[in-house]
Amino acid sequence: AQKVTQAQTEISVVEKEDVTLDCVYETRDTTYYLFWYKQPPSGELVFLIRRNSFDEQNEISGRYSWNFQKSTSSFNFTITASQVVDSAVYFCALSEETSGSRLTFGEGTQLTVNP
């Protein structure tokens, strides 16, 4: 069965600090996809990134970067020089090739960036 664990329930940082959100997943499929979504107070989940299981290259997009390591089943998300607008709940999610586009989400990490 697929499972996603986000051990950090809440993180609080001061603006301009770097912060890493952890994500650990479990799956029996060899082909799967990992996602990060952001949920601001408005409630709408916003897609950030998708990685497939065959591509372990780290990715950087502006202040965001992702570290995918199959050896540890982790897909961590780092925000560099955090800003107040980054405050939100962040969800890691997994979909398996055999389950279509059915996403399994983690519990989420509430990130608060203080000025």
Partner 1 sequence: GAGVSQTPSNKVTEKGKYVELRCDPISGHTALYWYRQSLGQGPEFLIYFQGTGAADDSGLPNDRFFAVRPEGSVSTLKIQRTERGDSAVYLCASSLSWGAGGANVLTFGAGSRLTVL
Q: What is the number of other CB atoms lying within 10 angstroms of the CB of residue 17? A: 13
How many residues interact with partner 1 (rule CB under 8 A)?
Answer: 30
To partner 1, the closest distance from the beta carbon of 5 in angstroms equals 11
103 binding partner 1? (CB under 8 A): yes
For residue 44, give both structure tokens. 């709408």
Residue 95 in contact with partner 1, rule: CB under 8 A:
yes
- Token code pair at residue 81: 């020089």
Stretch that binds partner 1, among 15-23, 56-64, 72-80, 90-98 (CB under 8 A): 90-98
Q: State the minimum distance, in angstroms, from the CB of residue 81 to partner 1.
A: 26
* Six token digits for residue 59: 């990715």
Listed in sequence order, the residues at least 6 apart from 62 whose beta carbon sits closer than 8 Å to its beta carbon are none
x-or-dash pattern for partner 1, window 9-48, by CB under 8 A? ----------------------xxx-x-x----xxxxxx-
